Amino acid sequence: MDQFDYKNFRKEKAKKNKKEAAKRVVILGAGQVGTHIMERLSKEGYHVILIDENEENIRIARELAEAATIVGNGCNPLIYFQIGLNEKDLFLAVTDSDETNLVACRLARAFGCQTKIARVRQPFYRSFENTPIDSHFWKRWGIEVLFNQDELTIQEIEHIIENEGAIDTVFLNGDKLQVVGYRVKPNSLLCGRRLVGLRDVPIFENLLVAAVSTMQPLEQNASEASTKQKNKPKEHTLIPNGDYRVKEGDLLYLCGVKENFSGIGELFDPDLVKGFKHIFILGGSLLANHIAERFSKKYSRKTIYLLLKNKNEARVASESLSSKIHVLMADAHDINDLKDEGLDKHCIFIAASASEDDNVLACLLVKEETRARTISIIQSSTYMHLVPYLDVDVAISPKLLLVDDVLKALRGGAYDILSAKDKDAEILDFVVTKKSNIAGKTLKECSLPKNSIVMAVSREEEIIIPRGDTKINIGDHLVFFALKTAIKEIREIFQEH
């Protein structure tokens, strides 16, 4: 018979009597995704209940945040009966098992829970346009929001490829508005330039520098500089003013409509190679196969290579995947073999194997030997912290992409764009109402929190990249880029309690 820790659950729940009015979130899965969401929501005042059948996962989770925990099988309906799951609760099923998540959401539906979110990975567990298997299909099954982790990852890779030179991308307002991060290379014309007056340059006219991630200290005297040199600096995020001077290695986040980003990447990296001729994918995972299949269709005029070390895996891939995919028996460490196949600076190399050690090492070798554009799939947050110090163009964490989208769905209007890179910032969207004291004022007249910036105004069908004299009207959607220290004050301005 299934055993779960009701005693611990009741003990921890007793500590939370003062939080009974808080919204309850039940999370199934105490892996990296579940615990990350638990941490964030717990800090925001949600009453979190975390369920996992792995006792070690639960033990680790208890050390990270204040939450009630249950050790048990998430497909056991008795657990949900015991905690009194009901229509007011939010239910998230984010285990590593697609089927467990789907069944758990079905159970949550049976208990009357109205908001149910499931994480899946198999490509057939998603919505297909122009078919009966659409979003309504999954709602009838019992899932309000279905997140396909591999689909989110592939979309992120596509956005990176389409925005040449980009490090990070976020699409908002139905993809009309985007925020794109670019790294300042040593020979960039932006090095040493102050931000003031940058928007007077034609190519930046309709773009706004919303934030900067930098390793450089903002203020330091000689003694502080000496101390800093002894310790390796850590990248931190700031909302810059016009006097900020751009430095080599800075990561600038620009906001604008999609069509205004053309040619921007070359300003940050004059050596940027435009376009690409081949895509090489380091395989050995379900995700790698999905990427190869998608790109063989999306980039049908390009050559797609899937690299596999195992002979049996290569044979299976050749038989099961599209004939347009060139399956190679190759080791990414044998760079000369890849060069013979055409890998050079005009190519994109995507390391998507099941081993993040192999992914990072392969990208470093490929970058050193060929200068190809490299994209590494990384799961560990430890590795993500190291990315700014490594010669890898882009690092993508599928699990943290999922965390971002789940939080956005739960919170409505908050986009945790930078959590995957351990930045302490968010994008938020608020509507100006009659009660807002900024209605009718220009931006420069508004007393907005320090460490925040309005980077876009959405007005009916129009998107405005604002300046100081932009007037705020009732009904406007203001899109903020804000550090965590400013979020509470922003919410108070818009009477978000």
Which DSSP string corresponds to 181-207?
A: EEE--TT-TTTT-BSTTGGGSGGGTT-
pLDDT of 432 higher than 50: yes
Enter the pTM of the model. Answer: 0.85
Instruction: Give me 58's structure tokens.
Output: 């639960």
Whether the predicted pLDDT of 23 surpasses 60: yes
348: number of Cβ within 10 Å: 24
Distance separating alpha carbons of residues 418 and 404, to the nearest angstrom:
9
Q: What is the pLDDT of residue 18?
A: 47
* Per-residue pLDDT at 466: 93
More confident residue, 25 or 176: 25
Mean pLDDT of 460-466: 90
Residue 424 reports pLDDT greater than 80: no
Q: How far apart are the first and last CA of the chain?
A: 44
pLDDT at 171: 83
Residue 383's contacts (CB-CB under 8 Å, 6 or more residues apart) are: 356, 360, 395
What's the confidence (pLDDT) of residue 388? 74
SS3 state at 266: helix
* Mean pLDDT of all residues in 194-217: 88
The answer to whether residue 494 scores a pLDDT higher than 70 is: yes
DSSP class of residue 68 equals E
pLDDT higher than threshold 80 for residue 193: yes
Q: How confident is the model at residue 396 (pLDDT cuts 50, 70, 90)?
A: very high
Q: CA-CA-CA-CA torsion for 101, 105, 111, 116, nearest 10 degrees?
A: 120
Q: Check residue 291 and give its pLDDT.
A: 96
Question: How far is residue 70's CA from residue 9's CA, in Å, rounded to a whole number?
Answer: 6
Residue 7 pLDDT greater than 50, yes or no: no
Domains delineated in the chain: 6-143 (3.40.50.720), 165-268 (3.30.70.1450), 278-400 (3.40.50.720), 424-493 (3.30.70.1450)
pLDDT at residue 319, rounded to an integer: 93
pLDDT at 305 over 60: yes
Q: Is the pLDDT reported for residue 385 higher than 70?
A: yes
Indicate the range of 18-22, 100-104, 328-332 predicted with least confidence.
Answer: 18-22
Is 421 a residue whose pLDDT tops 50? Answer: no
Residue 6 has pLDDT above 50, yes or no: no
Taking only the tens place, the pLDDT of each residue in 208-267 is 999 998 887 655 444 444 444 455 567 788 999 999 999 999 999 999 998 899 889 999
Average model confidence (pLDDT) for the chain? 86
| Over residues 150-174, mean pLDDT | 90
User: pLDDT band at 411, cuts 50/70/90?
Assistant: low
For residue 423, what pLDDT is reported? 56
Paired strand residues for 351: 282, 376
| Average of per-residue pLDDT across 457-461 | 89
Contacts of 131 (CB under 8 A, 6+ apart): none
Work out the pLDDT band at 415, boundaries 50, 70, 90. Answer: low
The long-range contacts involving 169-174, CB below 8 angstroms and separated by at least 24 positions, are 170/415, 170/417, 170/427, 172/415, 172/427, 172/429, 172/456, 172/479, 173/456, 173/458, 173/463, 173/477, 173/479
Q: Give the pLDDT confidence score for residue 369 in this predicted structure.
A: 95
Give the whole-number percent of the chain exceeding pLDDT 70: 89
Report the C-alpha gap between 147 and 250 in whole angstroms. 32
